[in-house]
Each structure stands twice: as structure tokens, then as C-alpha cells.
Structure 1
Amino acid sequence: MEYTLFEKKKKSLQIFLETQSFTGVQKIAEKIADDFLKITDERPQIVNTLQDTVSIAIGTYGNSELIDSLCKAKVLDAAKLEGKREVYVHKLIDHPCKTGKLLVVAGSDKRGTIYGMFSLTEYFGMTAMNDWGDVAPQKRKLLTIPESYEYYSKEPSVKYRGFFINDEWPAFGTWTTRHFDGFTVKMYDHIFEYLLRMKGNYLWPAMWSSSFLLDGPGMASAELADEYGIVICFSHHEPCLRSSEEWDLVRGEDTKYGNEWNYFKNKQGLLTYWKEGLKRSGHLENMITIGMRGERDSSMLGENSTLYDNISLLKEIIHNQKAMIRECVKRDTDQIPMMLALYKEVEAYYYGDETTEGLNAWDEL
């Protein structure tokens, strides 16, 4: 048997979302309301009171009175949500306010809830390629769901899933400059939406000619990513939450940062630069790039340096960066995710050789 959620000119959709819901979840609720508009030509109203006209209820375990009460009453299985990472449930239940049914979308956390919301409209024909490939959903006058419908997603097997906007010129750069006046938050909102619809959670922003933490304008793009639960990480040669283009804006012999992108020659200037970056955006959900390499994919100590010299210098850099991260980054968890990306000119530092121990044998890494 099928239960009718929506029928053209007969039964409208209405979405319930509590006022204390995460702001990112509230913003995604507006997006799925737009999805339903594209599918049915009618945009659901979003309400903060559970009433008999509500057909879909959305909430996050531990952040929603409704979801927590449904778990306590064993309508939802709390064991499949509590402590789980990025899990969601869809379940058609008896409506608390009337005779009929209520479709519940609940997440174990913020990302789980968002995935559940986008999965719901995908169930009815929406696609992540609507924005990127002009793939419009098929129009529907009737939306139904099995009366016994219940689905719990599994925890993702890969913790961080995303992509790097690399080599962005001319195609991507031209597109975002033409439509969004640059690498702004208006553009990244589309990127974030696409990533979340694809069940991603991780992004290296474009970096050839832009600074993610400046071009939002300001930190607007980073703050929106945090609202949506997207983990931001900078590329392989942009440590401690600072972009390479930003360095070019602040460097100089007469500045506190100095002019050389070289730890051996400009240790204090670079430590100051990195520490300020960690203080500025370390409170957001990031994966922090550590290590260092020379400018424009080059080696730092030059051709005449030994493998031992380079590994020793990199160990000192990483040790000091991790000390700053512990000092500056305020997190609820003791585990702050960090990444060392080994590109071609520093790969040898990881493995070492017959006479020189590499980073792979270093306990601190």
C-alpha cells in the first residue's frame, strides 16, 4: 500500500523544523523546499509548530525534542543514531496530531540530517546534476511512499569524501567570475550544495588566484561551509589554514612576516603568519595542512642540501606547527585532524633512504 504525501490541488506538503535546529539544516530545508517546487510546481511551507497539516518532520538526534521523544518511545531506533557518524533515517509513522501519517527525516548529527533531507528529494526525482548539468526533475502531480517505509543509512566507510578545485583556470575561474563576481560565497554555496547532495563532506577550495578566507567576502565562505558541516582543508603547500595567495598579499621586508617563504631563512615571520591563521579560523571544522615546501612546488633548501638536512628541517617545522595548533585551535575533541600531503619533491623525505630515517618512522608524525 502507498501513502499519499502530496496530490496536486488536493493535498499540499508542509515541512516541520524546530527553531533550535542547526542553521545549516535550516538553510538546507529551504533548498529542499525549492526541490519540491521544481518537482511539483508547489513550494512547501516550512513551519516551527507540529500541527495536523505537517507531512514531513525533520530533526537531529540530541538537537530535536521531537526526534528525541520518538526515540524514547521506540518509534525510532536510538541505537542506530546515537553516537553514529553521518547516519540518517526515513520513516513513515503515525501522525502525532491527527489520523494519518508523518514522514520523519532524522539524522545522527548535522551532516546526517542534511544527507537525509537531500536523499528525500532524490527519492522523488531530484538530482545533484540539476545545478551542474541542467538536469531538471520530472514533474509529478502525485508523491507517494510505501506505508511501511523505513530506511536507516549506514555509516560511511570513508570518513572524509570530497574533491580539490584544482587548476581552476580558465574554465572554472571564468565561470565563477562571470556569474558570481569571483570566488565568492555565492559560488561556494553551489559547490557546497553539490558536495552534500553527493554525500561528500570535504573540500580543498580553489587556490590559484583566490584566498578562500578573504574572498567570501571575508570569511563568509568558510563560515557557510561550517554551517553545512563541510570540512575545509587547504592544499598541499598551504599550511595552518592560510592560502598561498594570501601570503603574497602580506609578505614584505618591512612586515612582521618577512618576505621569504623559507623557514630556514624566515622562521619567526612564518610562525607568526601561521599562528594568526590558526587563531582566525581554527574554531571552524577544518582539516589542518601541516608541513611545508618551497614556493611553486619547489624544494626549500635547494639542490645542494642533503636528504638529512631537509628531513630535519621538516621535522622542526611540523613539531612547531603542531604545538601552535594545540595552543590556538579550540575544539570539543582532543583529536584535531591534520594532513601532510607528500608531493613529488618531498616524497623522498617521507621514505628516507638506506642511511637516513624518513618521516614514516618518526613517532611524532
Structure 2
Amino acid sequence: MFLLSHATAIVAPTNLAKPVQYGLQMLVRDMEKVFGQKPQVNAGTSEWTIELRYASEEECSSLEEEAFRLHFQMGDGNSVMTIVGRDDLGLVYGMLHISKKYLEIDPFWFWAEIPVSRKEAVWIPAEEQESARPAVRYRGWFVNDEVCLIGWRKEYPPTEEIWFPVFETLLRCGGNMVIPGTDLPRSGIHHQLAHDMGLWVTHHHAEPLGAEMFLRAYPGVTPSYAQHPELFERLWREAIEKQKDEKIIWVLSFRGQGDAPFWSMDPVFDTPEKRGAMISKVVWRQYELIKEYVKHPVCCIALYGEISELYSGGYLDLPPDVIKVWADNGYGKMVSRRQGNENFRISSLPELSDSGKHGIYYHITFHDLQASNHFTMSPYSPQLMKQEIAAAFQAKANTYLLLNSGNIRQHLYTLDIVSEIWCFGTIDLEKQLCSYLRRFFSSHHQEMQELYERYFQSAIAYGKEEDEKAGEEFYHHPARKIISHWLTGKVDQTNEQLIWATGNVSFADQVRWYQQKCAAGSRRWSRLKKRGQEVMELLSEEDKIRFYDQFLFAIELHDTGCRGAVNLCQAYFAFKEEKYPLAFVHASQAHWDYREGLEALTRSEHGKWKNFYRLDVLTNIKSTVDNVDTLRRFIRMFGDSPDFFLWYKQYLMPETEKYIYLENTHRAVLEDDELARMLKKKFAADGKLPETGEAFK
């Protein structure tokens, strides 16, 4: 047995590469947490020594890229555990293997604030170990829609303080690839830090080769490759020259500015043949430029949106060694994504006869201004996730797996699932959930397992397909569209922006559909919230905080969102029947419900998480709260205006005062909240409203 303790010395080569320096920094910090004291590094050997070294030429023949081997040389008074790395990442993974398996440092320790168990020493079996070959060659995260990470601190773009935990966690999960953020200023540290930590860096499909957006570089110039090929190629060359010595997975693509089809700004390309020919021409030109600078480049192309359709139609000609990356629809199903009201659900997997290398881009978080999940766990089940990734692997799309990871903190459970799949090729979901809960919580694991399983059963099914489940954006984007349509006087017209969900029916039927869906969801989420609160009371104080942040927080966003949406719809129908005071009460209740969602964000901003939800501009709960506030003010114009005393007089003033009060002493205008609460109590007493915490029926 090899003894690991604070007295174990570490010997590393001089002039360590930056990725290994960062890996060593993590190992030293982990040992200090566990043993209470930092180990000595390059201060000489001791009775027990960890040695870091790169594999010899002979050893490289038996080690895969990014692999490591643990070798032991045991002796009296001088025992050595050697971490032999095939390359920089091999050494990094070797050190993190020690941290995870023997020091018991959880990959998500930072995001879930998992406590570290202090130990005097750890014994490691002195038996040679070698890392297993991962199921996926290139595997990592797209840190996308990362508004929480951006808004967490005042500095913009985010600093190393923000990005380091992201990349560290990815490495601890066995990942080796990242898109570090979405359209961030090039002055930021994100790209360089990812490279310095040993990760392969790849690009957003709207930013081919990682080049500057055309309209940023050339404002006012038409972004047409047909008209200005030399300007596009100048940007591409600049990007290639800057990154040619780094580990880059080059994204070849041609989309329009702002992540839209290029023909939206160049309408001459009005047929699939013309569009496919232009994309093929651009991709081949990008490929040729890269080959001028890089000997053996790794390239990929995202078959996303319209490019997938062109490829499936046979309109694209691509270089044969480019990895073709297929995407799910944002809801976990490997079919084409919904675009507005169009939802063709075309298979997004290669045919078995499709040659070359393939991979997938998969969402566990998404933002589509319709029904996606951003702050909450994916609403579709882990079983669907496992099924779809397995189908992709069966179709040989297993060279590359890019996972949309969002803001990390809210998606640890699903991140853990996919990290196990990309390492081992499959997963036992029940076993994984048991393990996950035991890592995060000290007790009551069976009760929590039942809650997690009920979470995915509680999600609103807005469509007939198994993946058509609603995340928390469903309670906000459609709600704001309903309010806008209502207040701009279009209630006699179908809301085109809701047809994707409701079908082409009248606006009143659209509101009724939305109300029914959210009412059914409210019943399930409120029951789950109640049970979750009961379980939370059984936990230790430390576990309570973690359980709230990792589970109950999401339930509250679903629960408050459902109730708010239902009361918004009730307000509409009361208004439609000219029951304006009742509509005002329902709108006020919706305002209070949605405001509870804001309070959930605040409760989860304790300690180091202060201001984590400051930049909520995607789900944008505050915007919904403000919209509903505007709505109830609007409703109050109908019957309580212009004096804003009439409803008080009609419904609340004692009968003995109604006809004899003096206006100069009884004209104080009640605030909306106060008036709404008084009217709610009055209507409930009269049997017009039930006294219940549920959404009003």
C-alpha cells in the first residue's frame, strides 16, 4: 500500500506546461483540504513520493492520447507512486483521478459546496492502474446563455475567478473540449484560460473558425460572401493565425449574422441548390485556409437548423475528414428543432451508410423563448436522454459530444449523467442517481430519489411527443406574449407567436389552452413542493441549503410560474366578462405568484452566490412581474378610474359610510397590493373566490 498524506512529497519536472501546472495546483489544494496542510512540491523526496513524468517513447506506444498510468516502486523508506502521462492532459487526468478516487473530492464540490472529509492519511493499493479509454474522443461543454456567470460579478467580461471553476469541473468530469461562452468580448480571458488548462477549444456554429463577426469588423458593409469574399477571408485568416498553435477543433460553417441563415441578408440565394452550393464553397475555402497553417487539423461542421436540412437533402459537399455534428431539438430528442411555429421533427442522426466521423450537440438546458428550461433541470426524463445518446452512438455519432451546459450550477444532476455516458458509453440511471444523492447529501436518500423521479413526471406535456415537456420559460414567455396581445387590442386575432403550442385557434382558446395546461401542472408541482419541504425538514442544516439550491429551488420556479400563469388567464376571462374588480384581483394574484419566483432566486443567492441571478435576462422573471403589474394597472382603469376610489367605495366601504362620507377626508388612494388584498378577502367571503393558496379556479 502507498501512503498519501500531508507528508507525501511531490516531484514534478521543471518548466511544467501550463495545463500540468493547473492540474498540480488542483491536487495540492485537494490534499491541503483533506490533510489540513499543503504537501511539499519539488523540495526533495520523502519516505512517500508522488512523481509526475511524461511517458517515454516506448511507453507511448501502449498509451492512448490523454491517457495516464499509475506505477508503483515500493521500498523501505522510499516508496514512489509515479503518474505517467501520455501528454499534458494525461498527467492532469492522473492527478484528478487521485483526487476523486482516494481523496474523495467530488467533481461538483465548488457548485454544490460539498464538504470535504478531513483525513490523517489515505492508503492506495500499490497496483499498476491505467486509465480506461473514454467512449467519446472529443467531449465537453458549450457554456451557452451564461447570463448567471456574466452577471455574478461586476467585471465584464468574466474574469478567471468565474471561468476557472467551470473548466476545472469539466476536467474533473473527464471532459476535454469547451466552447468558452457565447459571443464574449475578445479581450476576455475565457479562450486563453481554457487553452492554458489543456482543453480543446471549439467554436459556436455562428462564429466559424472563431473569427470576428463580419458586421462588427465591417459595420455598414453588406455581409455577403458573394460580394465581399476577400473581407470574410481576411477575418478567417486572422482567426487561424491567432489559434494555429493551440488545440482547436475548427468549426467550419457559414451562417448569417446573429445566428440566422445567411440568405436572410442575401435573398438572391432562394433555392436549396443555391444555398447548398454557397455553404459548400465557403466550407471548402475555410478548410483550405486552415490546411495552410495547421498540418493535421481537427475540423467539424454543425448540422444544425437549415444546414441539417440541406445536408439531408443532398445539397452539401463537405471535406471527407470533417466531423459532422448532429443536434437534438433543444428538448433532448435527436430531431430537427422547432423554428417558430414550424416543427418538422426530421431525424437528426446520420444514416448507417453515411461515411466519415460524426458527433452530437446535445442540450440539457436551452433558451428558445417558448418552453425551454434555463434555470431548472431539463424537463424531459433521464431515460429519454440515455435513449437518444445511445441511438446516436449506435449510428456511429460517437467521435464528438458537445453538451449545452448553461450556467453549470443548476444542472449538476444531468451534467453528471452525461459525463458518465461520455466516459463509459452507457449508464445505469438508478445506480447513478443513488450514487449522486449519496455524494451530495448525508441522509434520507430514498426520499430524495423518489422526489427526483417525480420531478420529471411533473413536467407539463405541452405536446404529444415524449420530449415535448415544459421548462420554466413556459410560464414566462407565453405569459408576456398574452399580455402584450391583450393590451395592444388584438384579442380578436389569433396570437401567431403561440400557434406552436396551441394550434391555430382563437386568442380566447389559446388563453384557455394555456390555463388548462398550467392548472394541471400547478397541481403536480404544488404536491411535489409540499413533499420536498417535508423532506427538507428532515435534513441537517448544511444539507437543507444544498437541497434547496439543487432541487427545491427549481420546484418553486415551476410552482410559482404555473400559479402565476393560471391567474393571468383567469384575469383575462374575468376581464372579458367585464368583471373588472375580479380581473384585477386575479392579475394581482398572478403578480404575487410571479414575485415569489423572484424571491426564490434571492434565497439561492447566499454566501458566494450573491448576485448569481442578477442578470436574469433570458427567462426574465422580473420582466414578467413588471408586465403583470402593468396589466393590473390597466385593468384598474376600467371602473376604478379616474379617482381610484370607486372600487373601495363600492365593495369595501361600510354601508353606514357610503352615502355620508366627506371626500376631503376619505379620498386616500389605496396602493394596488392593498386594494387587491382587501378585494380578494371580500370576494372570498362572498363565495366568488376560494380561500386557497392554489391558483384561483
TM-score tier, shorter chain, comes to 0.7 to 0.9
Contact kept, 8 Å, 1:17 with 1:26, in 2: the verdict is no
Report the counterpart of residue 658 of structure 2 in structure 1.
Answer: none
Report the equivalent of 1:196: 171
**Contact map agreement 1:297 1:345 (CA 8 A) in 2:** no
Partner of 2:88: 110
Give, in whole Å, the separation in 2 of the partners of 1:278 and 1:226.
Answer: 15
Show CA shifts across 1:155-188 (max 9, x none): 222110101111222x23222x34x643234422
2:281 corresponds to 1:316:
yes
Q: SS of the residue aligned with 1:47?
A: coil
Mapped pair 1:214 → 2:214: no
In the alignment, what sits opposite 1:359?
316
For 2:134 and 2:120, how far apart are their aligned partners in 1?
Answer: 34
Equivalent runs, 1:165-184 vs 2, <5 Å: 165-169=143-147, 171-175=148-152, 177-178=153-154, 181-184=156-159
Is residue 230–residue 285 contact of structure 1 (8 Å, CA) maintained in 2? yes
Q: What CA distance in whole angstroms lies between the structure 1 residues aligned with 2:52 and 2:272?
A: 56
Q: Is the 8 A contact 1:234 1:288 kept in 2?
A: yes
CA distance in 2, matches of 1:362, 1:59: 38
Q: Which runs of 5 or more structure 2 residues have no equivalent in the other structure?
A: 323-697
Q: CA deviation at 1:144?
A: 1.5
Structural mapping, 1:1-365, within 5 Å: 2-6=1-5, 12-47=7-42, 49=44, 51-53=45-47, 55-62=49-56, 80-81=62-63, 84-95=64-75, 99-123=77-101, 124-146=103-125, 148-169=126-147, 171-175=148-152, 177-178=153-154, 181-208=156-183, 210-211=184-185, 213-216=186-189, 221-244=190-213, 247-253=214-220, 259-302=221-264, 305-327=270-292, 329-330=293-294, 334-352=295-313, 357-359=314-316
**Partner SS for 1:232:** strand
| Greater fraction strand | 1
1:41-84 per-residue CA deviation (whole Å, 9 max, x = no partner) reads 111111165x335521112214xxxxx8xx7xxxxx76533xx2
What amino acid is the match of 2:278? L
SS of alignment partner, residue 89 of structure 1:
strand
More helix by share: 2
Point out the more displaced range, 298-307 or 153-162.
298-307
- Aligned equivalents of 2:113, 2:107: Cα separation in 1: 10
SS at match of 2:167: helix
**What does residue 627 of structure 2 align with?**
none
Q: Helix, strand or coil: the match of 1:59?
A: strand
For the residue of structure 2 that corresponds to 1:28, the secondary structure is helix
Task: Work out the CA distance in 2 between the residues paired with 1:107 and 1:186.
Answer: 28
| RMSD over equivalenced CA pairs, Å | 2.5
* CA offsets 1:172-225 (integer angstroms, 9 cap, x no match): 3222x34x64323442222221111111100012114x13x4212xxxx43332
d(CA) in 2 for partners of 1:130 and 1:206?
A: 22
Residue 255 of structure 2 aligns with an amino acid whose one-letter code is R
Q: Could you give the per-residue CA deviations for residues 12-50 of structure 1, whole angstroms, max 9, x where no partner exists?
A: 12111010432321232122101111111111111165x
Aligned match of 1:256? none
Shift of 1:363: 5.7
Higher RCO (CA < 8 A, seq sep 6+)? 1
Q: How many residues align?
A: 318
Report the CA distance between 1:104 and its aligned residue. Answer: 1.5
Are 2:149 and 2:158, in contact at CA under 8 Å, matched by a contact in 1?
A: no
Change (3 A) 1:149 1:324: same
Once residues 181 and 291 of structure 1 are traced to their aligned partners in structure 2, the CA distance between those partners, rounded to angstroms, is 28
Answer yes or no: is the 8 Å Cα contact 2:251–2:300 preserved in 1: yes
What secondary structure sits across from 1:275 in the alignment?
helix
**Runs of 4+ with deviation above 6 angstroms:** none
Give the gaps of 5 or more residues in structure 1. Answer: 63-67, 72-76, 254-258
Conserved 8 A contact 1:39-1:138 = yes
Contact 1:36 1:44 in 2 (8 A): yes
Which stretch shows the higher mean deviation, 107-116 or 186-195?
186-195
Q: CA deviation at 1:306?
A: 0.6
CA distance in 1 between partners of 2:209 and 2:242 (Å): 10
Please state whether the residue corresponding to 2:205 is helix, strand or coil: coil
Larger Rg: 2
Change beyond 3 A, Cα 1:21–1:364 = closer
Q: Secondary structure at the match of 2:31?
A: helix
Amino acid at match of 1:56: I
Q: 1:78 & 1:318 partners in 2: Cα distance?
A: 35
* 8 Å contact kept, 1:94–1:100: yes
Equivalent residues of 1:18, 1:48 under 8 A apart: no
> The residue matched to 2:83 in structure 1 has which SS?
strand
In 2, distance between residues paired with 1:268 and 1:198?
A: 42
